[in-house]
Amino acid sequence: MDLGLKGKTAIVTGGSSNIGRGVVLALAREGANVVITFRDPVQSRKTADDAIALGGQALPVRTEVVERESVENMVKKTLEAFGRVDILVNNVGGGNDGPALHEKPWEEIDEEIRKNFWAQVCTCKVVSPIMMKQQWGRIINIGTDVSRSGSARNPIYAASKAAVGGLTRSIARQLGRYNITVNSVLPGWTLPEKPEDVGVGSFWYGGKAEKLFSPEFMEKQVKALPVRRTGTPRDIAAMVAFFASEQASYITGQTIAVDGGATMEM
């Protein structure tokens, strides 16, 4: 299916690793120009080269998405390179499992809130006036399925991602009249397809995840899923690409979990 994204310009925050990388490649496959915000230059260059090989154009821009000035600079470079911002995918996020809330250092709490919520506020604020002037835009915010179920392992991560849902619905109401849709995708367990698909800063980089999640633990998680498997970046990217397309032009303010049925709603 042609999603009508050829020549569109997308910004994907955290676009070099795992889910972000999958989104970049999916959009590039549809002919979009993709700006990749990154902290790992080697991994971002690899993802950019892979995107270009698929037929898109790709521009890595080092960005601290929690810093207003850095976001403004990244968007400026996007406009200089491509002249437009059609699609924004807010993918950056993450948290540190444990300790319990009452034991977690204030610095970690602040960092998780800024990474998971404040970063999306920054990018939406900077990009939305550009889309309003264009009278066209797609904003896709990446959350997590534990924002619905809660997480004893990391309540700050779950709560800050839950705030993304409120942001999504609120700005969807504000921006709909400008032909801008705003939706959210909630990934479940989404593992990299290959170790080389992640870079420094990723939760899956350097064996950190393996230390936290034993094979027995992961087997238990998979058995609890109706589809009996973990997700891949391609699973998430397919929904993001659909939301970015003209086919989804009458869908806004919605939150879709792509989690193998882990958080079904009645």
142 and 160 Cβ atoms separated by less than 8 Å: no
Amino acid 228 reads R
Based on C-alpha coordinates, what's the Rg of the chain?
A: 17
pTM as predicted: 0.92
CA dihedral 204, 210, 216, 218 (to 10 degrees): 0
Which among 157, 178, 205, 250 is annotated as catalytic?
A: 157
Indicate the Cα dihedral angle 116, 122, 125, 129, nearest 10°.
-120
Query: Among candidates 170, 192, 193, which has minimal Cα distance to 182?
Result: 170
- Compute the mean pLDDT over every residue in the chain, rounded to the nearest whole number: 89
- C-alpha–C-alpha distance, residues 107 and 113, integer Å: 10
C-alpha 4/C-alpha 245 separation (Å) is 6
Q: Reply yes or no on domain 9-258 having CATH 3.40.640.10.
A: no
- Domain spans in the chain, listed from the N-terminal domain onward: 9-258
d(CA 18, CA 21): 5
The mean per-residue pLDDT over the stretch 18-35 comes to 96
Using CA atoms, how far apart are residues 96 and 108, in angstroms rounded to an integer?
Answer: 8
Give catalytic status of residue 178 as yes or no.
no
b (16+ CB within 10 A) / e for 185-212: bbbbbbbbeeeebbbebbbbbeeebeee
Predicted confidence at residue 266, as pLDDT, reads: 37
Tell me the mean pLDDT in the region 171-189: 95
What is the mean predicted confidence (pLDDT) over 146-156? Answer: 75
pLDDT digits (tens, 9 = 90+) for 2-11: 899 999 999 9
The closest alpha carbon to 96, from 110, 82, 81, 83, belongs to 110
According to DSSP, the β-strands at 33-38 and 57-62 are parallel
> Residue 178 has which token pair?
């400008």
pLDDT at 214 over 80: no
pLDDT in tens, 57-69: 999 999 999 999 9
Q: 266: burial class by Cβ within 10 Å (0-12, 13-18, 19+)?
A: exposed
Confidence category of residue 202, pLDDT binned at 50, 70, 90: low
pLDDT beyond 50 at 185:
yes
Neighbours of 50 (CB within 10 A): 16
